[in-house]
Structure 1
Amino acid sequence: MTPTSARPLEHPRLEEIRLEAVLHALSDPMRLQVVRHLATLGDACETPCSAIDLAVTKSTSTHHFRVLRESGVICQIYRGTAKMNRLRRDDLDQLFPRLLDTILAADAAQLRRLGPGH
């Protein structure tokens, strides 16, 4: 008998995702860093929380991932003991065409303008 997985994490259904929640989630530099990392992996790729190095405490990191999940920006699923993360790009593109690409392009431009460490 296989041990049961941890409880499933709640995610908003497509029709429940709200623009203001997505914009709020993407307004924080740490959360934007998570999205930037996930965007580089491709749409179907998953990565564990621990693979994304955030300069914050574990509890603060957990909070940022929860905000991203509850806003509909990412999908999280347990694989064993690891919580895997995937960007909900298809859902976001369907609801808000080009929003994610525009935000990521603006973020990249700002990083170039401000330089490393900002």
Structure 2
Amino acid sequence: MRQPRHPGTEEIELANVLSALGDPVRLHIVEVLADGAEHTRDDFEVALAQSTLSHHMKTLREAGVTRHRNEGTRCYVRLRADVDERYPGVLGSVLAAVRRS
């Protein structure tokens, strides 16, 4: 199975990361992924159509926030560590703000 394209670390733009994180559904996804493990779609527990969830997942991947790995019929998703290398503290600050609210 073909693997999805991910932007290189140098291609990750802060505006794209912040835009991707500006949606409540995507914030929920990132909050689930914050445990550092790989997750499948079933782990996100969102009441959305499959196509809508796919759109949100694609937005996070294209912004450089997540890394997706296809294995058989499953897609495994995790946060990219290199986002923190490129923009230190951004994800942590956003997640801390989400947890406070």
TM-score, normalization by structure 2: 0.96
Instruction: Show CA shifts across 1:5-28 (max 9, x none).
Output: x21100000000000000010000
Q: What is the root-mean-square deviation of aligned Cα atoms in Å? A: 0.8
- Greater than 3 Å deviation, 4+ residue runs: none
- 1:49 is matched with 41
2:82 aligned with 1:91 = yes
C-alpha separation in 2, matches of 1:20 and 1:54: 25
- Indicate the residue corresponding to 1:79 in structure 2: 71
Tell me what 1:115 maps to. none
**How many pairs were matched up?**
101
Give a deviation string over 1:45-76, Cα, whole Å, max 9, x none: 21111221112111100000000000000000
Larger radius of gyration: 1
Matching residue of 1:65: 57
Q: Specify the alignment match of 1:116 in structure 2.
A: none
Of residues 15, 18, 25, the one that matches 1:20 is 15
**Equivalent residue letter for 1:26:** L
Equivalences for residues 97-116 of structure 1 within 5 A:
97-110=88-101
TM-score using structure 1 length: 0.82
% of aligned pairs identical? 42
What amino acid maps onto 2:53 in structure 1? Answer: S
Opposite residue 19 of structure 1, the aligned amino acid is L
| CA shift digits 1:77-109 (9 cap, x unpaired) | 111110000101x21111111111100001111
Task: For CA contacts below 8 A with separation 6 or more, give which structure has more relative contact order.
Answer: 2
Is there any run of 5+ residues in structure 1 with no aligned partner, and where?
1-5, 111-118
**Structure 1 Cα separation of the partners of residues 47 and 19 of structure 2:** 20
